[in-house]
């Protein structure tokens, strides 16, 4: 990315590079996961409702704590950009960066989606993923990343000099404004970095640049979540379609996505409690 010559390495460069990598957080000390209970509870669940998000649009849905929701591929390969909020306070929202640090760059069954500070608690746990077979391919790519942001009209304008109104950022903004009955300008401030559902991405080996490739998702594939707290969700069907060629335009084939809400059977969650907000005092040393 730079034309300048690199600095001369110090004599002990090899030693400095040989430092051992450490996983940043002691993730084995996180609050225990209830995945086994959820796996049991999903056996007897029944579908309550479903919504379809049209191509190049956004849609919202509510999921009560203790319920499941699925994002389902229908008709054709399509990537979805997911936002989540605590249903009773939009200021608590999905925290892509911390989820990346506590889980991984790409998420699948058993991973939890964490909320923003100061709430910092699990919002949802992934309970099933029909694309979990994909793993890591030869390019180092995986599915369902929490590293990208969302396509947006500002970056597109900067690069192409045109207004395009169906980027995921705008789709999510319009959908949230309608659902929460707030102005677009207010809704836009609540839209945040997404989970890139079904998107296949990685970093190039040589320059470590973020890349995308055609999603392996096919109709019938789905990813399923357990709602740890009352959730308001918004999903955008990315104008990039399967994100195998381009995005932020109207020329790429795009397909709808379906969101299905499920309720577990009576008594299936015995002993489970919705996680409280984070226990830090919030005084910051004052």
Residues found near Zn ion in the complex (CB under 5 A): 151, 168, 238
87 Cβ contact partners less than 8 Å away, ≥ 6 residues apart: 62, 229, 230, 231, 232
Judged by beta carbon, residue 231 or residue 238, the one nearer Zn ion is: 238
Judged by beta carbon, residue 197 or residue 269, the one nearer Zn ion is: 197
Nearest to 199 by CA among 131, 97, 103: 131
Judged by beta carbon, residue 81 or residue 129, the one nearer Zn ion is: 81
Smallest gap from Cβ 52 to Zn ion, in A, equals 18
Smallest gap from Cβ 239 to Zn ion, in A, equals 6
Here the tokens at position 144 are: 């369902």
Judged by beta carbon, residue 227 or residue 238, the one nearer Zn ion is: 238
Smallest gap from Cβ 167 to Zn ion, in A, equals 6
- Which residue is associated with the tokens 């995986």? 142
Smallest gap from Cβ 225 to Zn ion, in A, equals 20
Nearest to 67 by CA among 278, 260, 271: 260
Here the tokens at position 118 are: 């100061």
Judged by beta carbon, residue 18 or residue 159, the one nearer Zn ion is: 159
Q: Is the dihedral of CA 141, 217, 144, 184 positive or negative?
A: positive
212 Cβ contact partners less than 8 Å away, ≥ 6 residues apart: 148, 199, 200, 201, 240, 243, 244
- Which residue is associated with the tokens 């669940």? 45
Smallest gap from Cβ 244 to Zn ion, in A, equals 13
Smallest gap from Cβ 152 to Zn ion, in A, equals 8
Helices (H), 21-167: 35-41, 96-102, 153-160
Judged by beta carbon, residue 153 or residue 202, the one nearer Zn ion is: 153
């Amino acid at each position: 990315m730079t034309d300048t010559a690199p600095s001369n390495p110090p004599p002990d460069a090899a030693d400095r590079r040989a430092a051992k990598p450490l996983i940043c957080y002691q993730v084995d000390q996180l609050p225990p996961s209830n995945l086994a209970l959820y796996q049991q509870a999903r056996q007897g669940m029944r579908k309550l409702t479903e919504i379809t998000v049209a191509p190049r649009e956004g849609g919202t849905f509510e999921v009560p704590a203790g319920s499941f929701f699925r994002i389902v591929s229908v008709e054709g390969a399509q990537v979805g950009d997911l936002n989540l909020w605590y249903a009773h306070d939009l200021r608590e929202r999905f925290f892509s960066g911390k989820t990346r640090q506590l889980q991984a760059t790409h998420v699948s069954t058993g991973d939890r989606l964490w909320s923003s500070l100061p709430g910092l608690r699990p919002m949802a746990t992934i309970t099933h993923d029909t694309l979990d077979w994909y793993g890591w391919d030869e390019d180092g790519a995986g599915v369902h990343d929490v590293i990208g942001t969302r396509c947006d009209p500002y970056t597109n304008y900067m690069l192409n000099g045109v207004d395009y109104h169906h980027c995921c950022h705008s789709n999510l903004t319009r959908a949230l404004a309608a659902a929460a009955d707030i102005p677009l300008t207010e809704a836009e401030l609540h839209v945040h970095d997404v989970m890139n559902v079904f998107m296949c991405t990685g970093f190039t080996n040589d320059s470590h640049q973020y890349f995308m490739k055609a999603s392996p998702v096919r109709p019938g594939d789905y990813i399923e979540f357990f709602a740890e707290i009352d959730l308001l969700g918004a999903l955008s069907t990315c104008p990039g379609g399967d994100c195998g060629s381009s995005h932020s335009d109207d020329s790429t084939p795009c397909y709808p996505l379906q969101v299905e809400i499920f309720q577990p059977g009576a008594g299936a969650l015995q002993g489970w409690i919705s996680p409280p907000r984070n226990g830090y005092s919030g005084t910051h040393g004052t």
